[in-house]
Structure 1
Amino acid sequence: MNNINKSALAIIAGKNLNLLEIISNEFADQGYDISLVYSTNHRKANNIKQQITKKRKRCLIIEGDFKNKDFYKESIETTILNLGSLDMIVNGISVHIENSINKGFISLKKFKEDYYQPSIAYSKYAASIFDPKITPIVNISPNWDKIKERDKFNNDNN
């Protein structure tokens, strides 16, 4: 990444705080203030916030339930109210779950209901209020077709 804009603001949203930590720090290094939108582990989110603020960048943390569609609006509005105009959204809500599906820790149905559908809905909501040419929405998601095919194969062979 290049230093794009010293006063830029990015929402980094997702459930895997280890991944969000890497992405948030990279964006902060490039001059972005961060709004970290997550669903669990307030202690880890606070740790990420401390890392970002040590880089002299602003960081807002917003915890909520991605299955609640009102949370999408609330997280975006809270970000804009507290930090200003939004320059980018990075949506990683469903990214970390593919490994859990592969290992049988989570069913395809649960993945679809708890991760995939909220991820798509979050991006659709953001796209409905922002012009993607001005405010890019970056989706980081596992390959849904490969997951469905693998699940079909596993069900056919059990």
Structure 2
Amino acid sequence: MTELSTDFRQEAEGAARKHREIQTKVDSANSSGSGQTKAVQAGARTYPAPPFAKQHLEKPGREKDLDPAPMYDAPFYKGSDKLLGQVAIITGGDSGIGRSVAVLFAREGADVVIIYLTEHDDASTTKQAVEREGRRCLLLSGDVSNPAFCNHSVERTLEEFGRLDILVNNSAFQLHNHRLEDLTEEHFDLTIKTNLYGYFHMAKAVVPHMRQGSVIINTGSVTGLFGSKTLLDYSTTKGGIHAFTRSLAAQLLERGIRVNAVAPGPVWTPLNPADKLPDDLADFGSDTPMKRPAQPEEIAPAFVFLASSHCSSYITGEILPIVGGY
């Protein structure tokens, strides 16, 4: 063996020792639990994290029965007249993301119409929250899968406020199902009618009354991006909503009406406690990189951003994921 070969071999042995030394340090660090196991808190205040109390809400789910109460009022968010004088319809606006969007829209100067199913107490709470922001709020109870109700809602909005600038399609039906054989046609049909037909009916009702600069924002979902094996029907509708958003945006572009979607990951709202079994709900959101679900007030500012021509006048046909780091 030449002297040069011996030098290379010794150098290699030295490098191997360094590899083992670093390996030992990393193994020690990993075994001591240095990986991120606690929920990430990156906001203005601390948000709840799993485990949650085991609970199950009767459909459609009331926010006032949820423990802990969802955080929707965003006390550190300061309005700046981004939506001053505008009027917004928000379906599913009685609770969850819809409630928080209603509050922030009002804080930005908009009057709000809340469309909801039968959660009258929740809707009343949202109305009071909007009025505390100094804006007006109209409550309309009905089913968005019925086109007659959607048309009625638009007519009532115009009667009350005289204009219509923003539609937020947010109503949804969701129910986990673990086996394709157990997913009934009735269940599948209800999900499609609420989540897809409802968005279609509302958009069709509002567009003739919108002007240049008006906005439609649809609520999509992380399940529409990646799918979900236990939410086959719901994921199908959310993927459809994403495609509906992009297609409608292209169709309405020449009229100056922008159409976008927000696609949240898990959010602490009545939707999941009225769906998941109590044992499953306890760990809700723990499988995200942030190890917790979002609170509604962490999602709502994205709707303000997309609604405001001051912020997003050049944005249409986009799907904005808010998924906790996926």
- Is it true that 1:3 corresponds to 2:81 in the alignment? yes
- Is it true that 1:151 corresponds to 2:232 in the alignment? yes
- Is it true that 1:125 corresponds to 2:200 in the alignment? no
- What is aligned with 2:171? 93
- Is it true that 1:55 corresponds to 2:130 in the alignment? no
Distance 1:70 1:20, change over 3 A: same
Aligned length: 148
SS in 2 for 1:101: coil
Choose between structure 1 and 2: higher strand proportion: 1
What TM-score do the two structures reach when normalised by structure 2? 0.40
Superimposed CA distance per residue, residues 111-146 of structure 1 (whole angstroms, 9 cap, x where no aligned partner): 11333222222223323x144743211111232883
- Compare 49-58 and 133-142 and name the one that shifted more: 133-142
- What is aligned with 1:155? none
Contact 1:89 1:138 in 2 (8 A): yes
Q: Aligned-pair distance for 1:86?
A: 1.1
- What is aligned with 1:139? 218
Find the aligned partners of 1:69 and 1:144 in 2 and give their Cα distance: 28
In structure 1, stretches of 5+ residues that fail to align are 153-158
- What is aligned with 1:37? 115
Find the aligned partners of 2:121 and 2:111 in 1 and give their Cα distance: 20
Choose between structure 1 and 2: higher helix proportion: 1
What TM-score do the two structures reach when normalised by structure 1? 0.77
> Amino acid of the residue matched to residue 219 of structure 2?
I
Contact 1:91 1:119 in 2 (8 A): yes
Identity of aligned residues (%): 23
Distance 1:77 1:148, change over 3 A: farther
Distance 1:87 1:6, change over 3 A: same
> Amino acid of the residue matched to residue 89 of structure 1?
L
Find the aligned partners of 1:29 and 1:82 in 2 and give their Cα distance: 20
Q: Aligned-pair distance for 1:4?
A: 2.0
- For the pair shown, which has the larger CA radius of gyration, 1 or 2? 2
Contact 1:93 1:141 in 2 (8 A): no
